[in-house]
Amino acid sequence: MSQYLPEPAAVEEDPSLLVERLRRKEGRWLDWAKACQALQRQKMTPQAIFEATGFEPIHQNQIIVAAQVYEGIAKAGASPAVLEHFAHKGSDILYELRILSPQDRVRVAEFIFSRHLHAADAHEIARAVKNYAQLQQLPEGFTDHPGDAVAYQAWRTAQQTRDLQERTRAIGRAFQYVHSDTARRQVEQLLSTIATSSRPQRSVLPKLSVFRLEEDLPRLLPVAGSLPLATAAWEGIPPSEPQGPFGWVNSPAEQTWMALPAWPVIQKAGDPVILQVENRLLGSLLGLPVPAGEEQDPVLLVVDRAARVWEGAQMAGFFLVDRAGSLAVEWIEDSPSSPLLGQVLMAVRPPRVFDEVLAQDPWQLEE
């Protein structure tokens, strides 16, 4: 079978047609990624695309990155069967391979396809292969195959833990992924240590679980309050820059905080702060109708207070300004006449309540 590549979306294509295709989910996920890219090139923000199509910004980013990975493995020589498989589904799997080199992406994609693995497995395999590639030489008995890379990580974990159950689980993971016979023998040798470790000990050794934090843990942001809000109260919130290797924050006594996913736009912000507004304000800003009964629904605005210097038309967007001592949200596309108090980065709605009727609607389903 021949590899599938989406038809490139022309820059000059009518954005309304692209929006309509996304709204109807026409084509494959690769086509959706191309359409999202084309709309963003035409100065349509991810949030605006979400409001018009239902594709959340985080999903847009996933399929765009996954499409880049797909094109990369196609150029790097992935088999037609693998390309055809991932052209239909698996954008979440390809997204996990973004941290690997082009050749490693091909080898891992082939391995995942052959084992019928899922996105959670792809996350573990990608990190194991990345760490494995940083070793100065291959460990004794293990090859450069992705399966051996994951098996080695599990084998090393089993060696380093004293807990019998954790060691058993680690060895089980090693057997699940191991590829070469030489690596399998290394795991089998380690398995023999379980019997020795299970013998009664003359003294009870202390136990302590040790975990390593992931880079994509939630970001803790201060909450300024709800509109209407005095400008002085907004300015009085101290900066909350995470400190140290664990990213802790020194908190004033009465400060309210909220954790949001560590999305790139938040990570890049200099001084992000949360402001709560009503849904009617969001609809007014975006020029969209608000359904009856939802005017007062809460919406969070994430505002970068560090973005106060006007650098030209490329900064056009929503900003906070002072109006008679109170905060106001305004669209600014030319040099502002009053000082800027921060740029609105995104709007966040509360979690959607699960509805079995809505769940039967294909619009609510992932690809």
What digits encode the pLDDT tens for the residues 31-69? 999 999 999 999 999 999 999 999 999 999 999 999 999
Portions of the chain given CATH number 1.10.10.2830? 15-132
Instruction: Please measure the distance between the N-terminal and C-terminal CA atoms of the chain and give it in whole angstroms.
Output: 22
Pick the CATH number of 219-356 from 2.130.10, 3.30.2310, 2.10.109, 3.40.1580: 2.10.109
d(CA 322, CA 62): 37
Q: What is the pLDDT along the chain (367 residues), one digit of tens a residue?
A: 445 555 554 445 788 999 999 999 999 999 999 999 999 999 999 999 999 999 999 999 999 999 999 999 999 999 999 999 999 999 999 999 999 999 999 999 999 999 999 999 999 999 999 999 999 999 999 999 999 999 999 999 988 888 888 888 999 999 999 999 999 999 988 887 765 555 555 556 677 767 776 666 788 899 999 989 999 999 988 887 777 777 777 777 788 888 888 888 888 888 999 999 998 898 888 888 888 888 888 999 999 999 999 988 888 999 999 999 999 999 999 888 889 999 999 999 888 655 555 555 554 444 4
Count CA atoms within 13 Å of residue 49 on its CB side.
26
Q: What is the CATH number of domain 15-132?
A: 1.10.10.2830
Cα separation values, 312 from 125, 200, 316, 317, 334, Å: 44, 72, 8, 11, 7
What's the pLDDT at 192? Answer: 79
Portions of the chain given CATH number 2.10.109? 219-356
pTM assigned to the model: 0.51
